[in-house]
Structure 1
Amino acid sequence: MGHTIDEKRVYADRTGAETVLIASERGVVVASLSADRVGEFRLDHRTAARDVAANGDRRAVATDEDVLVGRYEPTGFGPAVAVGFDGDDLLAAGPDGRVARLDDGWTTLGTVETPRAVHGGMVAAADGVWMVDQGLRNVGLGDVRDVHGRGMPLAATDDGLYRLGNGWMDERSDAFGVVSVDSAERRSASSRTQSGDAADDRAHAVGEDGTFVREAVGEWRAVETPGDPVDVAYTDRATVAVTEGGTLLADAGEGWRTRELGVGGVSALAVRG
């Protein structure tokens, strides 16, 4: 007999469990993950969720009506397609291209063409990568699908995967839609690399040729995944991914475990620290 999203799935060993947030067309799913084992999961809030972001205990959700924070409290932004944290600052992008920062209220920083992702003070859009400072500054590329804005920035575009150094440098050709990198802010002291170099951080990219893991700067290796992830994130003990059809994937070093969440139209995930 199949299980539904409203059922609670609990494993006996909850030691070291972390919380994963998933944005779907039905709403926000919250799942408990211990290493690569999915425990309890539930539909935590019903809405058409387009994106989700987390920064420590803080979370934000982009929906067709508003940007929600905390226990899904409205912020007055209006319809949103992407959210992300730049340090402690929450940024959001609307379907009309408006990008704003939440202070006492929302402060508009500028507009971009067809925003797709917000991360670490950068915005991925059809007209390139935009960097947030006092406003918005275009830093190049085009048809950008995703961006990682911290440390050594990476951008996934319709033309390839790029790394920002002295200008944008090619990492891989072909179309890419997802890029994710583990961040020093999220990592616990025990899981940090000895060098602390961003190039040593876990990183994944998903494109038309499949899923790739970074082994060194400019070196990516194809890996098999049970489905095509629409987003990838990290806990201290595992790499976590999710497919559009609602399959949660987790790999703690012994291959991917999967769990069907019972939702569709999945667009993003985030790990709540």
Structure 2
Amino acid sequence: MPLTNQVILITGAGGGLGSTAALALAKQGAQIILLDKSIPKLETVYDLIKAASAPEPIMYPFDLAGANEDEYQELADKIGEKYGFLQGVLHSAVEFSGYTPIALQGTKEWGHTLNVNLNAPFLLSRVLLPVLQKSQTASIVFTSDSSARTAVAYSGAYGVSKIALEGLAKILAEEFESSNKIRVNTLIPGPVDSPLRKRAYPAEDKGKLPKMESLDAVYLYLFGPQSIGVTGQAIDARTFHL
């Protein structure tokens, strides 16, 4: 299995795409650290991975928006103490409450969305860099949205956070390109039958959408040996093929 002995942390691991990625990567031998604020959701994903006879994952309940800087650092320290290194981070946690005109966007909702979708990926990546750098190769993957570049009306704080997140990924990729150790890419999942898609487009016929498991191949590519040397890219799952 190509990911045997690889330690990969996934945020939003209890969500649709996060749990899909966790199961796909675990089936290929990865040791998954499941990060989510919902313990019941973590337990569900844990059970799915165990049932697949994959390596036993680690559950780490964590509130990305509510945690302070010390708690982020404590997470990084615990990973360093237990494993000594980290080969991957998938930023899959997302906050989206609905499409809202900027004129009606509440300050609290704006701040919370940016905290989960942008500030948390920045802070988590920063505190984990020392353990990522201890690996021969490591992969950081940010999850964006196909509408990020078009800045669609009413996407509000969610839209702004995804635009900024792609910028953060590009900057990080540039900063680590010369080291040839940490690759940083952005995944654009495209329309799939996910819980987020259901909230965004409730009237859409979800039976016509690809299943979340259709993303398995792109997750395995981004964290597997085939993507070593590929950095600073936005990988669109709709056009992805090896």
TM-score (norm 1): 0.26
Higher relative CO (CA 8 A, sep ≥ 6), structure 1 or 2?
Answer: 2
Q: More helix per residue: 1 or 2?
A: 2
TM-score (norm 2): 0.28
Q: More strand per residue: 1 or 2?
A: 1
